[in-house]
Amino acid sequence: MTDLVIRPLVAGEENLFDSMPDPLPQLRQVAYTDGIAGGGYRPENTWVALRAGRLVGRAAWLLPPGAVGAPWLDRFDLDAEPEVGAELLRAAHEALGGPGLYYAALPAHWRRRPEVLAVVRAPMEAARLAGLVERGERLRCSWTGTPLPASSGRYSFRPPVDVAEVKALVARVAEPDVLTGVEIARVVGGVDLATDPLAWLGENTEEWRIALAAGKPVGLVGTAGDACYPLLAYLGLLDEAARPELLAEAVRVLAAGGAREVIADVESHRVTVLAELERTGFRQLRSRVVFAPPNSQE
């Protein structure tokens, strides 16, 4: 690798970063030039690997303006062997103060798609060679107008009485079913969406719904119609039997407000939740595999 040059990008070299064709064009990703314009991507947080003057590796760390956390690796593409990618990451980690999180965005059902595996094997192996450890996978799902299941009439729904009621119910939920944007909430706002969703979503609870059985709360869902996409930000249950109808009710709330698409994120190991999302009409959009330093709490 004697002809290999690894260095940070220089301001004005956006075209160099974009000179590598997008290996996964089916993903929804912010264009690098748009990220530069918005301040989330910065040249000093972007590293490239050049072989004989040709771009063979690129890595862009993202940190939105005003974020309280550290940059995370958001774009990482290789047209070279994994060792080149590992050398690129090690050099960047040293300059950036150490390794951090890498959120590898992948198309839905990527493990069953040979053409995708051919693209992602090298950067994922490079991350491992650079000392990062795979820590989990989150799936993003989308509802786009599929008819919703009919209500059984077993449950009723209402907005929360006040913020205190939301906080009290959230405190009783051991593990929320759906947490959409949990990574952004943590890095940008320093908020744990699972335990304090209102700190991220705000204290207007008009679009929240509480599910009741015989007058007692059995679950709650927090929606957001004015985020990047209309989304199910938080869904937590005290009775799992309420899951199908609470999901459908949440989508109805957003659809009534004009949403044509609704986004929901779920951990890949939550197969029951994923199956219920699919029965409600959600389809997988993408996966996000989390890599972290060995000593990270992610």
Query: pLDDT digits over 8-21, tens only?
Result: 999 999 999 999 99
Task: Answer whether 4-131 and 143-285 agree in fold.
Answer: yes
Cβ count within 10 A of residue 83 = 14
Task: Give the CATH class of 143-285.
Answer: alpha beta
Please name the residue that has the structure tokens 């839905």: 108
Domain boundaries, the chain: 4-131, 143-285
Q: Are the C-beta atoms of residues 198 and 167 closer than 8 Å to each other?
A: yes
Confidence of residue 298 (pLDDT cuts 50, 70, 90): low
Residue 104 in this model has a pLDDT that exceeds 60? yes
Residue 273 in this model has a pLDDT that exceeds 60? yes
Query: What would the pLDDT profile of 189-233 be if each residue is shown by its tens digit?
Result: 999 999 999 999 999 998 899 999 999 999 999 998 776 789 999
The CATH number that domain 4-131 falls under is: 3.40.630.30
Average pLDDT of the chain to the nearest whole number: 94
Cβ count within 10 A of residue 223 = 27
Query: What would the pLDDT profile of 41-91 be if each residue is shown by its tens digit?
Result: 999 999 999 999 999 999 999 999 989 989 999 999 999 999 999 999 999
Q: What is the pLDDT of residue 2?
A: 61
Rounded Cα distance between 286 and 116, Å, is 12
Predicted TM-score of the model (pTM) = 0.92
Least confident of 10-14, 157-161, 279-283: 10-14
* Four-residue CA torsion sign, 81, 82, 83, 86: positive
